[in-house]
Structure 1
Amino acid sequence: MQDTQRPFRVLGIQQIAIGGPDKQRLKTLWVDMLGLEVTGTFRSESENVDEDICTMGNGPFKVEVDLMQPLDPEKKPAVHTTPLNHVGLWIDDLSTAVAWLTARGVRFAPGGIRKGAAGFDICFLHPKANEAFPVAGEGVLIELVQAPPEVVAAFSKMATHSEIM
């Protein structure tokens, strides 16, 4: 059921994050074999992650592929225990989306809206629902990412163009 009153749009996939015990093994496939470009790194004690940020595609079609390993395999979050750690979605208005989804029972992971590894504002939908928040990612961690103005404009232009065709 589509809610025509939804005050935000999901524009596309911003990223996927892949976890493993050794990111060098992940790089062998994704960078050496598949040709993705390493465009940055991110390291966070609080998120227990050491990641290489890779990309494929260009412009609004550029997708980030984060290759992650834990700083400490015994600590949580355990970024390596789920091979497809999370999927990120471009959102045109993140704060509005979070407020609207929360009011409808969507469970978010702790941390709220904050700056992510690639510099965009982010937040996560929790993979598991609970009594207070009965809607969640059903086992999948979903990252909502504030799309920059140029991505919002590009997707708006594409939507307008596709309506004409």
Structure 2
Amino acid sequence: MKKLILTAVAAVFAMGVSNAQDDSNGGPTSEGKWLVEANTGNAVLGSTGIYFSSIDGESTYNVGLDGGYFIKDDLAIKAGLGYGGGSEDFDRSVVSYRIGAKYYVKSMIPVTLDYTGASVEDLDENPSYLGLGAGYAWFVSDTVSIEPGVRYNYSLNDDFYDNQFQLNVGFALHF
């Protein structure tokens, strides 16, 4: 499973880089464009982001990507997938997923609303969150943006999981 997800991540990244040169139909957030992004993640959440943590010899990791399609200028419908696990105390597989929307106010202030969930091996109750985030899209070129932001994740099963606030940095390809 790990190799499959890593291969898919590499393939999507390569496709984005190879197609990133074509800017014949408007700006990076124009209708009909695609978005592929990797974000820093949070070990507490089911995550489609990328993270690694090691504390006192115990480690956890996750790798994932989000992708989206601009259905109109500045508005993308997104989905994401991630895979993670850890060592000894957290020796479980975690498959995470996300679905939602991202709107770029004035084509540079991304605001997201999405549902994030995870399937954690051997758990009776899995995390699920409704997330709201905002940030700033710094376009280093017409096809690449760096997007620092803040996010609040409201737990939909708060008997087991708390609401989470996070700071993150996203890296996006627009093609």
TM over 0.5: no
By percentage of residues, which structure has more helix? 1
Q: TM-score with structure 2 length normalisation?
A: 0.31
Q: TM-score with structure 1 length normalisation?
A: 0.33
